[in-house]
């Protein structure tokens, strides 16, 4: 099997990033979690709120896709790179589910998805270059923050919107598993300043993606 050159890998990442940010949702191997649930009527305010939340979650999955791909790109150990790519494939399923729910609500995804993707790819590549234990630490902290956001979103969903709820609950279980796996694999504890910076960036993305 031919080993890809750096140029080949960069072209592959460019194609993947463009597809993630601008093309139709990626295929999912698991069933759509909301497939068997009824669509209950939402008021105008409720629909706008749900759409904003799902747009934020979709942007988060776009960012996660970039993060994992960036970490895989610069991983020092081949086994870690493969694990990151497997996690990225699972995030693709989350993208499919979020975008499908947005389509059901007749709402668009964030116009800034390219910013979220390439910014996260750069951060992931830097984390990977810093060493595997720091890369895993970044995964652990990211997924823990994502779980916290999903908990908040679950509280804000209208009670009758079970379709969005089951999607977010399934995603949360996956993200929590990613965090646990990273810790078991030897994740380093990130410095407090790094965690605070990650929280700030997350808040900026959440505020912006909810509206744009």
Asked if pLDDT for residue 125 goes beyond 50, the answer is: yes
pLDDT of 204 over the 60 cut: yes
Asked if the model's pLDDT at residue 134 lies above 60, the reply is yes
Average pLDDT over residues 147-172: 93
**Residue where the block lists tokens 């790094």:** 194
Average the pLDDT over 173-196 and give the result.
88
**What residue segments make up the domains of the chain, in order of their start?**
43-211
Of 17-21, 66-70, 166-170, the least confident:
17-21
pLDDT greater than 80 at residue 56? yes
When pLDDT is averaged across residues 193-207 and rounded to a whole number, the result is: 87
- In the predicted structure, residue 136 carries a pLDDT above the cut 90: no
Looking at per-residue pLDDT, the higher value among 121 and 25 belongs to 121
What mean pLDDT do residues 56-63 have? 89
| CATH class, range 43-211 | mainly alpha
What value does the mean pLDDT of the chain take? 85
Question: Which of 1-15, 20-34, 51-65, 104-118 is least confident?
Answer: 1-15
């Amino acid at each position: 099997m031919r080993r890809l050159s750096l140029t080949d890998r960069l072209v592959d990442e460019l194609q993947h990033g463009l597809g993630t940010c601008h093309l139709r949702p990626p295929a999912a191997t698991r069933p759509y979690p909301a497939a068997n649930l009824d669509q209950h009527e939402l008021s105008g305010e409720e629909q706008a709120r749900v759409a904003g939340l799902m747009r934020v979650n979709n942007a988060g999955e776009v960012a996660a896709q970039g993060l994992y791909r960036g970490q895989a790109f610069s991983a020092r150990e081949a086994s870690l790179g493969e694990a990151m790519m497997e996690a990225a494939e699972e995030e693709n399923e989350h993208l499919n589910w979020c975008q499908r729910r947005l389509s059901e609500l007749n709402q668009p995804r964030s116009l800034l998805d390219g910013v979220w993707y390439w910014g996260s790819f750069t951060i992931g590549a830097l984390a990977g270059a810093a060493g595997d234990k720091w890369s895993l630490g970044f995964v652990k902290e990211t997924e823990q923050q994502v779980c916290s956001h999903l908990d908040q979103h679950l509280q804000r969903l209208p009670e009758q919107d079970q379709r969005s709820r089951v999607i977010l609950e399934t995603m949360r279980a996956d993200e929590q598993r990613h965090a646990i796996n990273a810790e078991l694999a030897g994740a380093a504890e990130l410095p407090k300043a790094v965690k605070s910076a990650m929280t700030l960036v997350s808040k900026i993305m959440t505020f912006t993606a909810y509206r744009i």
